[in-house]
Homo-oligomer: A and B are copies of this chain.
Amino acid sequence: MAERIPVAIVNVTSYTGCELARLILQHPGFQLCEVTARSTQGQLLSDVFPHLPTGNLTITEQVKEAQLVFVALPHGAAAEAIPGLLAEGRRVVDLSADFRLRDPQTYARWYKHTHPCPELLEEAVYGLCELHRDELREARLVGNPGCYPTATILALAPVLARGIIKPDIIVDAKSGVSGAGRSLSLTTHFSEADENLAAYGLDGHRHAPEMEQELTQVAKDGAALRFTFIPHLAPMTRGILATCYANLAEPLDTEAVRALYEDFYAGAPFVRLTPRPPETKWTAGSNSCLLYPTVEQRTQRLIVISCIDNLIKGASGQAVQCANILCGLPEETGLTAFGLFP
């Protein structure tokens, strides 16, 4: 690669921020020229995150030079910051929820405040590369998908697109604790999360409308879904496993369903069918999404297991994948690390 593209990370001290740093620092096409954060300005990145021995890369207040900016701010704050970045002629991959939903009403209902810049929602591309690769090439603003939506949409898109399931779907998802970010809470306090498993969001999780939006859009007939999504917190740092349940619209066996998935994801370098049910640990540290679709013959129920590393394919790796496409680089660039096992 001739010259590396200068990129920045806004709010590098979040988990998605430091994971972006790790990936970009090892990326042959990008040059990490700026990292910003609020409370740690002036500190060396390597002092805040000793696993990143980055010499004298210092945390600053503002993006100045980067052509491409990864925004790892919380929702709300992201939408405040992004219009300025775009106005300065930069392209933006936003890891918050601010540019995922097309409908500002839906956004306002779930995020409890009016969207600060609804005029950008139409332009923003939903950054699930496997479904929106072509739109991403010219995008100026990417709404990088949430971790649950990534695992779920990749699990269900093929069968919805081909119309082989009834639109009555249950997704029972389990996530590692890093999905809750780096902000402190009793829920993520070690002694409470350790050796513990719990469902949450039973009265509605913010990722649900995002999944419904994308799954409805990909569905063959665009039929409204009857969609239940229940997330659970599992006592591990990384990993999402989504177990998806739907009834087949017509009899099919596992082999036929697997063939359909292989076909649907033929050109997707990071989606892979596994010969046996996948385990989250197989994805730790990699940008893979592992899928295992199977038909329960007795009930004619389709069950799809989907595994990702929530911080990589579910966040920062996916953002880099989007950025590769934006910049005309091969989609896999900088993302070929295998999982770290055990």
Interface residues of A (CB under 8 A from B): 15, 18, 22, 25-26, 47, 49-53, 170, 172, 174, 176-178, 182, 184-186, 188-200, 202, 226-228, 230, 232, 234-239, 241, 243, 245, 272, 274-286, 288, 290, 292, 294, 296, 299, 301, 303, 305, 336-342
Partner of A338, one of B51, B235, B274: B51
Q: Is A285's CB under 8 angstroms from B282's CB?
A: no
Q: List B contacts of A202 (CB < 8 A).
A: 277, 292, 294, 296, 303, 305
**Contacts A198-B277, A235-B234 known; A182 to B174 CB distance under 8 Å?**
no
How long is the Cα–Cα vector from A194 to B226 in the complex, in angstroms?
35
**Contacts A50-B282, A196-B239, A277-B198 known; A232 to B174 CB distance under 8 Å?**
yes
Q: List B contacts of A284 (CB < 8 A).
A: 51, 195, 340
**Contacts A50-B278, A195-B239, A341-B51 known; A228 to B296 CB distance under 8 Å?**
yes
Q: List B contacts of A194 (CB < 8 A).
A: 177, 190, 194-195, 235-237, 342
Partner of A235, one of B235, B276, B294: B235
Q: Is B296's CB under 8 angstroms from A239's CB?
A: no
Q: Is A236's CB under 8 angstroms from B196's CB?
A: yes
Q: List B contacts of A15 (CB < 8 A).
A: 191, 342
How long is the Cα–Cα vector from A305 to B230 in the complex, in angstroms?
11
Q: Is B228's CB under 8 angstroms from A50's CB?
A: no
Q: List B contacts of A305 (CB < 8 A).
A: 199, 202
Q: List B contacts of A189 (CB < 8 A).
A: 182, 184, 188-190
Nearest opposing residue in chain B for A305, CB measure: B199
Specify which of A26, A194, A234 lies most central, judged by the most chain B CB atoms within 10 Å of its CB: A194
Q: Is B47's CB under 8 angstroms from A275's CB?
A: yes
**Contacts A239-B196, A243-B232 known; A188 to B191 CB distance under 8 Å?**
yes
12 chain-A/chain-B pairs, Cβ below 8 angstroms: A22-B338, A26-B338, A51-B281, A51-B286, A51-B341, A178-B342, A188-B189, A190-B237, A195-B195, A197-B281, A198-B280, A337-B337
Closest 6 CB pairs of A and B: A51-B339, A198-B279, A196-B281, A184-B184, A172-B172, A191-B342
A279 to chain B, nearest CB (A): 4
**Contacts A236-B235, A275-B47 known; A177 to B198 CB distance under 8 Å?**
no
Q: Is B234's CB under 8 angstroms from A234's CB?
A: yes
Q: List B contacts of A280 (CB < 8 A).
A: 195-198
Q: List B contacts of A197 (CB < 8 A).
A: 174, 176, 234, 236, 239, 241, 279-281
Partner of A228, one of B227, B234, B301: B301
